C-alpha cells in the first residue's frame, strides 16, 4: 500500500474514532458513571411535597443540588409560570415573584434577553390558558393540562387574526416583542401599556373583540383586548379594518398541546420518553454551550406521577462546581425522571421555599429574571 494511502487510512480511522467518542459522550452515557450521591438531607414540606438537598460528585467535582418533588395527585396544588411584575418587559427576582404571587415554591424559568431595554423571554409561554408569547423557533417546552398531565416536547404555535365580516384571516409573525420590517404582530396588555412602535407602521386597536381604533405607531394596549401592528408588506391588511368590525385572535398549537393550560419554553431537552435527548433539536442553542460546568435548573416528571424541580449550584469554589448538561441529564434520570428539560441557568438559577432562597445563586444574591415557575397551594 502506498504511503499516502496509509496516511489517509490512519487519518480516516482517527476521525471515525473521534466521531464515535463524541456520539458516546452525548448520547450513550454509562448509567451512574458521572453522578454519585455523597450525602442527602430530606425534608417533607407538605403532604406530597418533599425538599431534598443533595451533595454529589459530578465527574469527580463536588456539586450541591436542591430538589423539590411534587405529587400531582394533590387536588389543591397548582403549578404555573409567573411573569416579572406581571409584564413581559420587566425583570424581577424569583423570591419577589413568589412572594407577590403567593407561590409556596418557585424556581427560575425560561431564557430571556437580558437587555434592560428589551428583556423578553425566549419561546412559548401560556398562563392559565392565555397565550402570552410565542415564536417560530423549534425549542423544547414543559406544559401542564387542566388535569395536570405533564407534557414535554416541541410545540409549534401560530397566531391568527380572523376578520369575521370578511371571513378572512392572516398569520402573525409573533407577539409581544419588538416589531421588525414587514411583520404583522399582536400586542397584549402583558407587553406593557403601549406598543412602543414607530410611525412607519399601521395599528388596529381591538377591545372585546371589536375594532375601537385605527392609527399609526405606539398605540395604547387595551386591558381587555390587543393591538394588531402591521409594517411594510403586512400593511396591506390594514385596509381590512373599520371601527366596530368583529375581530378574533386565535392560536393554533400542535394537537397534543390543545388541552395545555400552563406552559413555558426551556432548553435543552434532556430526557424524553425515557431516552437520552440531548442534541435532539439543532435549535436548542444554550448560552454557555453543552460541556461547560455551570449552575443549572431543570424540570422533569416521573412514571409514578411526580414533578421534579431541580436547581444545582455552581461557580462557587470549594462548595459547588456546577454541572454540564450531560451530568444534569444523568442526575434527572437518577431521580426517576422519564422526561426532563433544562431551564435558564447560570446566575439565574434560583430556588425559593416559603420565601427563603435555599440555594446559593452564583451572583451572591438572586438575579432579576423575566419569569419563574411557581408551585401554589390552594387553601
pLDDT: is 365 or 136 the higher one?
A: 365
Give the up-direction half-sphere exposure of residue 125: CA atoms within 13 A in the CB hemisphere: 28
**Against a cut of 0.75, is the pTM above it?**
yes
Assess whether 350 and 244 both reside in one domain: no
User: What pLDDT shows up at residue 176?
Assistant: 93
Give φ, ψ of 166 to 5 degrees.
Answer: -80, -25
In a domain, 26, yes or no: no
- Give yes or no for a contact between 130 and 116, defined as CB atoms under 8 angstroms apart: no
Q: Which of 208, 232, 253 is the last residue of a domain?
A: 253
User: What pLDDT shows up at residue 34?
Assistant: 83
CA distance 325 to 333: 12
The set of residues, in sequence order, having a beta carbon less than 8 Å from that of 249 and lying 6+ positions away, is 159, 160, 161, 162, 186, 206, 226
Three-class SS state of 166: coil
Assess whether 148 and 87 both reside in one domain: yes
Q: Which of 207, 224, 253 is the last residue of a domain?
A: 253
Residue reference for cell 407561590: 103
In a domain, 206, yes or no: yes
In a domain, 264, yes or no: yes
In a domain, 173, yes or no: yes
Q: Take residue 128 and report the three cell numbers written for it.
A: 392559565
Assess whether 123 and 261 both reside in one domain: yes
Assess whether 244 and 264 both reside in one domain: no
In a domain, 27, yes or no: no
Assess whether 197 and 272 both reside in one domain: no
Q: Are strands 184-187 and 174-175 parallel, antiparallel or unpaired?
A: parallel
Assess whether 68 and 101 both reside in one domain: yes
In a domain, 198, yes or no: yes
For residue 262, the cross-strand partners are 144
The residue segments making up the domain with residue 239 are: 158-253
Q: What's the structural domain count of the chain?
A: 2
User: What pLDDT shows up at residue 282?
Assistant: 66
pLDDT band at 6, cuts 50/70/90? very low
Assess whether 363 and 264 both reside in one domain: yes
Q: Which of 222, 253, 284 is the last residue of a domain?
A: 253
The set of residues, in sequence order, having a beta carbon less than 8 Å from that of 114 and lying 6+ positions away, is none
Assess whether 193 and 100 both reside in one domain: no
User: What pLDDT shows up at residue 35?
Assistant: 93
Assess whether 107 and 229 both reside in one domain: no
Average pLDDT across the chain, whole number: 89
- pLDDT, average across residues 230-254: 96
Assess whether 146 and 200 both reside in one domain: no
Give Cα separations from 156 to 193, 224, 281 (angstroms): 28, 26, 13
The set of residues, in sequence order, having a beta carbon less than 8 Å from that of 1 and lying 6+ positions away, is 9
Give Cα separations from 320 to 54, 221, 224 (angstroms): 11, 46, 47
Assess whether 286 and 145 both reside in one domain: yes
Assess whether 292 and 362 both reside in one domain: yes
Stretch among 159-163, 286-290, 342-346 having the lowest mean pLDDT: 286-290
Amino acid at each position: 500500500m502506498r504511503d499516502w494511502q496509509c496516511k489517509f487510512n490512519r487519518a480516516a480511522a482517527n476521525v471515525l474514532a473521534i466521531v464515535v467518542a463524541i456520539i458516546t459522550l452525548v448520547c450513550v452515557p454509562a448509567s451512574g458513571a458521572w453522578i454519585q450521591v455523597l450525602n442527602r438531607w430530606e425534608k417533607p414540606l407538605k403532604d406530597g411535597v418533599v425538599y431534598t438537598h443533595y451533595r454529589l460528585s459530578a465527574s469527580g467535582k463536588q456539586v450541591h443540588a436542591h430538589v423539590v418533588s411534587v405529587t400531582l395527585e394533590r387536588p389543591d396544588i397548582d403549578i404555573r409560570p409567573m411573569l416579572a411584575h406581571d409584564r413581559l418587559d420587566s425583570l424581577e427576582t424569583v423570591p419577589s415573584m413568589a412572594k407577590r404571587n403567593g407561590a409556596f415554591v418557585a424556581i427560575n424559568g425560561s431564557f430571556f434577553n437580558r437587555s434592560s431595554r428589551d428583556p423578553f423571554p425566549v419561546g412559548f409561554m401560556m398562563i392559565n390558558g392565555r397565550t402570552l408569547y410565542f415564536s417560530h423557533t423549534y425549542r423544547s417546552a414543559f406544559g401542564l393540562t387542566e388535569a395536570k398531565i405533564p407534557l414535554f416536547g416541541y410545540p409549534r404555535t401560530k397566531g391568527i387574526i380572523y376578520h369575521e365580516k370578511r371571513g378572512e384571516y392572516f398569520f402573525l409573525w409573533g407577539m409581544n416583542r419588538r416589531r421588525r420590517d414587514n411583520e404583522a404582530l399582536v400586542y397584549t396588555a402583558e407587553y406593557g401599556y403601549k406598543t412602543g412602535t414607530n410611525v412607519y407602521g399601521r395599528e388596529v386597536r381591538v377591545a372585546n373583540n371589536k375594532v375601537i381604533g385605527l392609527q399609526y405607531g405606539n398605540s395604547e394596549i387595551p386591558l381587555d383586548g390587543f393591538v394588531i401592528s402591521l409594517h411594510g408588506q403586512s400593511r396591506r391588511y390594514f385596509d381590512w379594518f373599520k371601527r366596530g368590525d368583529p375581530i378574533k385572535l386565535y392560536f393554533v398549537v400542535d394537537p397534543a398541546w390543545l388541552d395545555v393550560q400552563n406552559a413555558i419554553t426551556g432548553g435543552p431537552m434532556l430526557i424524553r420518553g425515557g431516552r437520552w435527548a440531548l442534541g435532539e433539536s439543532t435549535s436548542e442553542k444554550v448560552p454557555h454551550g453543552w460541556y461547560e460546568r455551570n449552575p443549572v435548573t431543570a424540570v422533569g416528571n416521573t412514571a409514578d406521577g411526580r414533578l421534579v424541580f431541580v436547581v444545582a449550584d455552581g461557580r462557587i469554589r470549594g462548595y459547588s462546581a456546577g454541572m454540564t448538561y450531560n451530568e444534569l441529564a444523568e442526575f434527572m434520570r437518577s431521580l426517576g425522571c422519564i422526561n426532563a428539560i433544562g431551564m435558564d441557568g447560570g446566575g439565574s438559577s434560583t430556588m425559593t421555599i416559603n420565601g427563603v432562597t435555599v440555594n446559593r445563586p452564583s451572583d451572591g444574591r438572586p438575579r432579576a429574571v423575566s419569569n419563574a415557575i411557581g408551585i401554589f397551594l390552594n387553601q
